[in-house]
Amino acid sequence: MQAPTKSPPRFNEAVELPDQRNLVLEEVNFKWLMAGVGWCVDMSRFRSDLVYASHYLNLAKSSESMELRNCACQLQQQMGIDWQ
């Protein structure tokens, strides 16, 4: 008798992404939202320089765009940046 096999989830079924993939998706969203309000962010530097990242997160949090403010808060939390 063969043990039952577990089938992989279908494409349209919700599958939670690992934390690292969620972070990358949030960074991409942040980059394009920032570009939409005229701020160009160097994402390589953003990932490696906490002062630089904090500066742009604070700019985003002062934006008139609610979506950008929310994205910045979410990204700040995912990155573990607690200071301003």
Tens of pLDDT, residues 24-80: 999 999 999 999 999 999 999 999 999 999 999 999 999 999 999 999 999 999 888
pLDDT of 22 strictly over 70? yes
Distance in angstroms (rounded) separating the CA atoms of residues 45 and 36: 19
| Helix, strand, coil percent content, the chain, rounded in steps of 5 | 60, 0, 40
Query: Other CB atoms closer than 10 Å to residue 47's CB: what's the count?
Result: 14
Q: What is the pTM of this model?
A: 0.73
pLDDT at 5: 65
pLDDT greater than 70 at residue 2:
no
pLDDT at 82: 75
